[in-house]
Amino acid sequence: MKRYLSLLLATVFVCSLLVSSAVAAKWTADMKEGKLELKSAGPLAFGPDGILFIADTKSASIVALATGDTKATGNASLKVEGINQKVAALLGTSADQILIEDLAINPISHHAYLAVSRGRGPDAVPVLVRVKTDGKLEVLALDKVKYSVATLPDAPADAMTGPANRQSNPRRESITDLAFVDGRVLIAGLANEEFASALRAVPFPFQNVENGTSVEMYHGAHGRFETRSPVRTFAAFKIGKEDHLLAAYTCTPLVQFPISQLKPGAKIMGKTIAELGNRNRPLDMIVYERDGKRYLLMANSSRGVMKITTENIANAESITAPVPDKKGLTYETIEGWTNVDQLERFDAKNAVVIRRTEGGAMNLETVPLP
């Protein structure tokens, strides 16, 4: 009997392995293997199975990179003091030549990933750095990796400059945030010539992105002036049974959109559920749960880190008229969380932040969620 039981258990184990590898293969089956050449590395976001999405603004594309980092480490914290100085040392340069563009946490291993620019001029080299939970830094070797690329739908065609001069076309589209939600990569962007901010949803694994699968939408609930502002940061959030996108804008309305309505060509009316105050721009936003309640945590340029209650979000009033300062969902400013440049969720109980210190050093560390 015991023998049968162990045989059965072994079979179940092998089957579960096969199923999990089949699930993993679903995401990477269409990827190619080879040298990944990034021209730039901007916002980052993790998808399933250790897949890292990288916005390469200079190539107007999103790269999905299978990092192979798919094992849990069990470590519950991260701390690296002077992360900018340490990255500079690895890359053989000085800290003032390093820009940390974005931070993402692999939800499986809890290793932190940084998009770094080595250099600050046109010849800057993009580098991806893994900060392991033991504090060690590694630069990702991209010579032989599995990846796929989604090229963003073309910029409006050049007229006089012509195809031969496309390289010199000064039009670029900047990407302000990136997230993987419900099988799609959501991309917020803004162009540097014609003024039109866009939010795109690209299904992953990437298919035929060029064929009009892009979505452009504007939110319009809040008077008129926000309608063309770019989304600065966003997070997925379930309201009732429906997945929503909460998007934060400069100066600082928080707007919700149902994700199911993000369809090619869709025109979606956003609902403004909070005005969080003037003279401010949001930097990063995460969602977490504590004592059965869900909160948003938002890092800002000039109003510290806000802990926003979401208890009444389902019944939140739509703000449709100008307000002098604040309205809608309320928040408290978290004391001690100062000079936060980057904010990411680490696990259910902790966030990871990168903070600037007075001497110019930047510290990366886990902090218990408030």
Window 6 to 35, contacts with another protein (CB under 8 A): none
| DSSP codes joined into one string, 227-265 | TTPPEEEEEEEEETTEEEEEEEETT-EEEEEEGGG--TT
Query: Encoding tokens for residue 151?
Result: 């090229």
- Interface residue with another protein, options 99, 263, 332, 357 (CB under 8 A): 99
Comparison of 24 and 139: residue with beta carbon closer to another protein = 139
- Interface residue with another protein, options 12, 14, 18, 157 (CB under 8 A): 157
Which amino acid makes up residue 139?
Answer: V
Task: Pick the stretch among 10-18, 67-75, 84-92, 201-209 that binds another protein (CB under 8 A).
Answer: 84-92
Query: Taking the chain, what is the end-to-end CA distance rounded to the nearest angstrom?
Result: 52
The strand pair at 145-151 and 242-249 is best described as: unpaired
Q: How far apart, in whole angstroms, are the C-alpha atoms of residue 213 and residue 208?
A: 8
Q: Does the protein bind another protein through residue 84 (CB under 8 A)?
A: no
Query: Encoding tokens for residue 266?
Result: 């869709």
The interface with another protein within residues 249-268 (CB under 8 A) comprises 250-251, 265, 267
- Interface residue with another protein, options 79, 132, 281, 294 (CB under 8 A): 281
Go through the chain and tell me how many residues it has: 370
Comparison of 176 and 256: residue with beta carbon closer to another protein = 176
- Interface residue with another protein, options 175, 273, 298, 367 (CB under 8 A): 175
Query: Encoding tokens for residue 162?
Result: 């012509």
- Interface residue with another protein, options 2, 3, 144, 224 (CB under 8 A): 224
- 3-class SS at 80? strand
Query: Encoding tokens for residue 197?
Result: 């901010």
- Interface residue with another protein, options 73, 77, 161, 363 (CB under 8 A): 161
**Count of Cβ atoms closer than 10 Å to residue 69 Cβ:** 20
Query: Encoding tokens for residue 150?
Result: 């989604």
The interface with another protein within residues 34-53 (CB under 8 A) comprises 42
State the residue for tokens 């003032």: 96
Comparison of 285 and 369: residue with beta carbon closer to another protein = 285
Instruction: Name the maximum alpha-carbon separation found in the chain.
Output: 80
Task: Pick the stretch among 80-88, 178-186, 238-246, 357-365 that binds another protein (CB under 8 A).
Answer: 80-88
Comparison of 49 and 275: residue with beta carbon closer to another protein = 275
- From residue 108 to residue 137, the character string flagging contacts with another protein as x (rule: CB under 8 A) and all else as - is ---------xx-xxxxxx-----------x
The interface with another protein within residues 316-335 (CB under 8 A) comprises 322-325
Preceding peptide of 163 cis, ω within 30°: no
